Amino acid sequence: MTPTAATSVTPQAVGAASTATYAAFIGSGFAFASWASRIPQVRDRLDLDPAALGMLLLAVAAGSLLALPLSGLVVTRIGSARVVTVMAVLHGVGLTTAAVGTLAGVVPVVVGLFLVGFAHGAWDVAMNVQGTVVERHLRRSIMSRFHAGFSLGTVVGALLGAAMVALHAPVAVHLTAVAVLIAVGVVWQAQRFVADHEPTGPDGPEQAPTASALTAWREPRTLLIGVFVFAFAFAEGVGNNWISVAAIDGYHVPDALGTLAFAAFLIAMTTGRWFGPALLDRYGRTAVVRLLALIGIAGVVLFVFAPTFLYAFAGCLFWGLGVSLGFPVGMSAGGDDPRRAAARVSVIASIGYCAALAGPPTIGVLGNHLTVLRGLVIVAALLGVAVLIAGTVRPLPVAHQAPTESLKAV
């Protein structure tokens, strides 16, 4: 019998890979939120207005957008384990550069954030590809739970960040310690990933064609899913980068309380991602993400126009819940055909991360004209677009998937 992905990898190896994938997602979220939780202090240290802060944050997006279009090719050639390993180290270097750079000025912070963005972009695609591989071996939907791991990491990072703010810990010390911890931990775990391409014939491993990483850019369904993910990524990214600033400036609350509002957003998003699979299996991708987008719209509107901070805090919860499943569902939709998963995930992630490029400067410019808090209303408008095109993430019919032995084996 021809070896297959279902039979050539032991259950123990799949279990270890699943744990390692969770670790990669958690580590990525922890590192990101650790940085995001200190944005207000970095702003004050560097004396930046909203527009200048938006341009500073653009460095992360620029690095990610440079890495993402290349990620499908690189992951296909060297595998998700090696990509995550290299990028975890590069991420540590970048975060340390940005952290220490706050003591010197804007330029080293920009350089460090660019490296962070580049590493995060490639790391993101690679761990999502490994997630689709593990999901396929387990034969059940768990992608949103991997993303819940990312959100869990962001919650821990945000809460630790709030504690560091309250204790007046220096940004440089806090973020350098995070950089070292993440680099060591994720590199260790990535060695337990399973191979992305399993033997499917007598001549050995079948590699996904390199051309697929380029032709995926001409697929209408893939591009539409990318737009769908863009809307959710914009809503999620703006929440990550601007909720604490908007709460502090718009509602005049202490820094620690503004950071807790950010943590509430992350807790709600984590909850939605952890319990999401049951809803997706019962009601389907389209119905669930459409309803959640509407909840997200309500949350953003409440946060922006609340009469008191207490109501705005509740808006953070609805906002976080509303955006919880958009990105992971988009990744799962891109991975419906396992042979083209790396290419399509790369394309979808690239389009989605354009939100990271557009978000910081957009909110920064609107902040200078309307205040940061009022500028956030654009998030609700984009979630409205997601409501309209949610049908694009319906599972791909089996007839449209490339035949592989791993799918045939039952």
For residue 161, what are the contacts with CB-CB under 8 A and spacing of at least 6? 33, 34, 36, 37, 38, 174, 259
Distance (Å, whole) CA 137 – CA 226: 25
DSSP string, 324-356: TTHHHHHHHHHTSSGGGHHHHHHHHHHHHHHHH
- Indicate the pLDDT class of residue 92, thresholds 50, 70 and 90: very high
Mean pLDDT, residues 25-32: 92
Let me know if domain 9-197+212-398 sits in CATH 3.40.30.10.
Answer: no
Question: Does the structure show a pLDDT above 60 at 172?
Answer: yes
- Selection from 391, 46, 69, 55 nearest residue 213 by Cα: 69
Give the pLDDT band (50/70/90) at residue 111: very high
Instruction: Return the half-sphere exposure (C-beta side, CA atoms, 13 A cut-off) of residue 106.
Output: 14
* 226 or 259, higher pLDDT: 226
Task: Please tell me the predicted confidence (pLDDT) of residue 89.
Answer: 95
- 62-71, 324-333, 384-393, range with the lowest pLDDT: 62-71
Residue 311 has pLDDT above 70, yes or no: yes
With 80 as the cut, is the pLDDT of residue 265 above it?
yes
pLDDT-based confidence at residue 205 (cuts at 50, 70, 90) = very low
| Helices 377-388 + 341-370 axis angle, to 10 | 150
Of 24-38, 261-275, 353-367, 375-389, the poorest mean pLDDT is in 353-367
Question: How high is the pLDDT of residue 208?
Answer: 47
Question: In angstroms, rounded to a whole number, what is the distance separating the alpha carbons of residues 408 and 406?
Answer: 6
Which letter does DSSP use for residue 62 in this model? H
Res. 357 pLDDT band, cuts 50 70 90: low
At 307 the pLDDT is 92
Label residue 392 by pLDDT band (50, 70, 90): very high
Q: What is the mean pLDDT of residues 88-101?
A: 93
pLDDT band at 197 (very low <50, low <70, confident <90, very high): low
Reported confidence tier of residue 400, pLDDT bands at 50, 70, 90: low
What are the structural domain ranges in the chain? Answer: 9-197+212-398
